[in-house]
Amino acid sequence: MNNKRIALLGLGTIGQVVFDELVASTNGAWQLAWVVVKHPERHQTVLLPTGAQLTTDWRRAVEDPTVDVVIELIGGIGVAKEAVTSALLHGKQVITANKDLVATAGTELDRLAELYGGALTYEAAVAGGIPIIRTINEGLAPDRIRRVSGILNGTSNYILTAIDQEGLSFDAALKESQAKGFAEANPTKDVTGIDAAYKIIILTKLIFHRTLSLAQLAPTGIDHLSPRLFAAAKEWGLKIKLLASTWESWGQLNYQVAPVALNPSHPLYQVDGVTNAVVIDSDLVGTSTYLGPGAGGKATANSVLADLASLSRGEQLTGSSACLRIENGRPLTKQRYLVVNPTGLPTGLQFSDRHATSALTPALTPTDLQRLRATNPGLETLALGE
């Protein structure tokens, strides 16, 4: 086991936990060499281990020839991409929790790792403390995965749970999640589905060897859902969850990131609060569900350190499971819906079941749904997760 010299980029919520664990560790397999921060005045009380240096210049740390591993916890795509690119060009091993970076530039960065003899690992970029990437690459390596879907954003799930269980408005639930530290000051990526979309992009590339873009996924968030939809879902015994999914059907890749109404038999129905969960359907194992904390410094830091431990053991983490290689992709083409209209339900459509102002539709194509909305002003719709 070779001693790894580490450059830690970022000392925020996750970075601080990683720093503390590295300093406290008695594992002789690694040594902290550099800590890179943006605002050194905020870290004057940091007690660095012997031989470690604090700097604001990431290049000094990343391009140090004695550094073996770069842990990128800066976030964003600008400086983080520069630093990771430089590390890989220098043949270093990179660990990141940066879902935005991996989702938008993962293919390019993987290629650099391969060309220059480095490595890019990102267990912490998806589902926080759930080791879903390692599960796919190792535990399900002999299997053929047909579908992956999940609750991948803890903030949106907390908001939806608060609305469902506490009767809060969207704004009140959002403020509560911010007060408890579950939501950022600017929660746009969480509530619009962008965060979940980035994570399903990473899993889709890993499983199906297809690179999706944010524009292709066209995620729908939870910020437009009306109180009437929540009331109707509760009346039907359904729960609204923001689901990110990709799956194979007849050689085609289907994808969707959107709020859906789940029935009690769905494996994600009981996943509440900030918890994340991933459901995988595969040929050998069948349906398996993975549950755990999707965010937070400690949970995410654990995934970062797990990658570090694996690299220290000399394991190769850039492989992928024996999943399907699919060349074409398409959004979901046919789906059932919960429809709500306070002035009366549409005519000319055979509902599978109906109440006074809400009903469950048969499977509809996007064109069917568009026509239904156009001819029924005031109609609200929500896909059923089946």
Enzyme catalytic residues: 199
CA distance 20 to 38: 18
For 311, the token pair is 């690299």
CA atoms within 13 A on the CB side of 66: 10
For 301, the token pair is 């830091």
Other CB atoms within 10 Å distance of the CB of residue 294: 28
CA 236 to chain centre: 29
What does R_g of the chain's alpha carbons equal in angstroms?
A: 23
CA 205, 215, 195, 222 dihedral sign is: negative
CA distance 28 to 31: 7
For 305, the token pair is 């350190």
Tell me phi and psi for residue 163, to 5 degrees. Answer: -65, -45
CA atoms within 13 A on the CB side of 166: 17
CA distance 255 to 217: 7
**One-letter amino acid identity for 347?**
T
Nearest to 123 by CA among 199, 194, 236, 204: 199
- Characterise 218 by phi-psi region: left (phi > 0), alpha (psi -120 to 50), beta (else): left
**One-letter amino acid identity for 262?**
L
The residues, any chain, with a CB within 8 Å of residue 144's CB and separated by 6 or more, are 282, 283, 284, 322, 323, 324
Alpha helices in the chain (DSSP H): 13-24, 58-62, 78-89, 99-116, 132-134, 154-166, 170-179, 188-191, 194-208, 214-217, 227-235, 297-312, 366-374
User: What number of helices (H) and strands (E) belong to the chain?
Assistant: 13, 16
